[in-house]
Amino acid sequence: MPNTKHSEQQLAKVIENRLSDWRCGALVYQVLVDRFAPAENLAAKQTLYPAPKKLKQWHETPKHGEYLAEHGLWSHEIEFWGGDLTSLQNKLDYIAELGMDILYLNPIHHAYTNHKYDSLDFHQVSPEFGDRQAVKSLTDATHAKGMKIVLDGVFNHMGQNAPIFKQAAADKHSQYRDWFDFNPDYPAGHRSWSNAVNLPELNLENIQVRQHIWLDEDSVVQSYLAQGIDGWRLDVAHDIGFDYLAELKAAAQSVKADALIVGEIWCYPQQWFPSVDGVMNFTAREIFWHVCEGTIAPATANQMLAQMVSDAGIDNLLKSWLVLDNHDTARLPNMLPEQKSQRLAQILHFTFPGSPTIYYGSELGMTGGDDPEMRAPMRWDLLNNNAILDWHKHLLKIRKNNPALKVGEFRTIITQQLVAYERYTDQVADSVFVVVNPNPHPVEEYLMLSNSKLMNMGGMYDLLGNISESIYIKAGVIKLALPAHSAALLKADTSAAHGYTTYKRVK
């Protein structure tokens, strides 16, 4: 017979350790530096955007442009809005007041385009954004607000305008020739990411490349961490592969033991640990999206989510970033036009194991289709009297006030028509039972809540305030009725009514 007391003591220690690790269940805010806040000295920066680059007005929205064959890129890739690290730093109060734990920046490496995924020099910061000292200033200011900062590392490839690539392409005897893969069989004559001529891939098998990027003490990865940043989000990490990711993580954590290494991995997450601390959990995103639009049945979604937690391990998922939208996807309102469906996806986003990531402006209801529309400048004009922002603040407050949602364990609830699971710790008062009805019709079901600490005939209440009638637990079973496209976040009422509670000896 299992020693329940010992198991509970073990779980209590696990929960304590997770709560003390900033990487577990963190709230992440993603920013494109060029598009977040306009620089105050924009007129003085005009020279940083020479033709064919264009500096746009903040109220303008990005549109798909034309392919510039002579430059090997699209015209919308070299349209800028003028944000920089200083203008971002001036808006830190807004991010901190939302309650975010991590500020994540899309690439700031010196690069030719606005998105900066075509680095010219990893060690340098793009002059439109600032310099390494500006990074240090932003890092210190972020830490002063009680937040961490994570940068985007684009280490699978560089840009065709990188001086070392140009030298290597022009001179077969260049010391950098073997940093890349030149071969006439490739459309551009060199291996490039997704055959995009502007993104020549690095030959990571060359140890000098890895020494430059992460192995050496003065490498890109190690030097930024030594300067104060807290981690790296790795672009197209699946292209880097298991072994080199593990080597990079070890190098990073030799500088800062709790440095966070998160991989952009559009694959099922199971086997990518421990090569990375976390993945960007696009598998969860697909399930959330499709169950909320009605193309995955709720019972199937429950099975998928349970298998993913079992396969990947909850501690790995807690460090993984949950995204509903980001700079590579259409924004949520464009994916799920019905606001009630959006809200259900957001409830799943904030309650499933992981680190919910908010793409700048999503909390304001910003819209945007495929690239580059989803990269519009921040709509600061939407800040006041915004019901979507109020809704996000409500969810963020619930998340902050419930440790089980941040770092708790996970178990599914058996159901046919609902998405349902429990997040729990060693304390019954912490448990949150997440129940979502994505159907276009009301659902009434009996649900078995497999938590032995729930007291018979004990009451439950809804953190969302959607259920006003009393819900009572009878021998571990509740009867729940949910309207169409609605949800409940149920908790056991362990308080003492008239000085008495059945939870007097059960915690």
CB neighbour list of residue 194: distance below 8 Å, 6 or more residues apart: none
185, 222 Cβ separation under 8 angstroms: no
d(CA 10, CA 26): 22
Beta-bridged to residue 153, according to DSSP, are: 234
- Write down the residue that tokens 């793409």 correspond to: 359
Could you give the CA distance from residue 400 to residue 403 in angstroms, rounded to a whole number?
7
Is the distance from CB of 106 to CB of 153 less than 8 angstroms? no
Residues in the chain, total = 507
Q: Which residues of 142-159 are buried (b: 16+ CB within 10 A; e: fewer)?
A: beeeebbbbbbbbbbbbb
Contact 477, 448 (CB under 8 A): yes
CB 423 within 8 Å of CB 347: no
b/e per residue 193-206 (b: at least 16 CB within 10 A)? beebbbbbbbbbeb
DSSP annotation string for 291-335: HHHTSS-HHHHHHHHHHHHHHH-HHHHHTSEEES--TTS--HHHH
3-state secondary structure of 177: helix
Residue 148, φ and ψ in degrees, nearest 5: -100, 165
Report residue 478 as tokens: 């509740």
The reply to whether 286 belongs to the active site is no
Residue 28, classed as helix, strand or coil, is: strand
Q: Catalytic residue at 315?
A: no
Name the amino acid, one letter, at 480. L
Q: Which of 264, 277, 363, 426 is catalytic?
A: 264
Given the residues 152, 235, 430, 493, the one annotated as active site: 235
Single-letter code of the amino acid located at 161 = N
What count of other Cβ atoms lies within 10 Å of the Cβ of residue 226?
Answer: 13
**For residues 366-386, b (16+ Cβ closer than 10 Å) or e, as one string?**
bbbeebbbbbbbbbeeeeeee
Q: Which residues are catalytic?
A: 235, 264
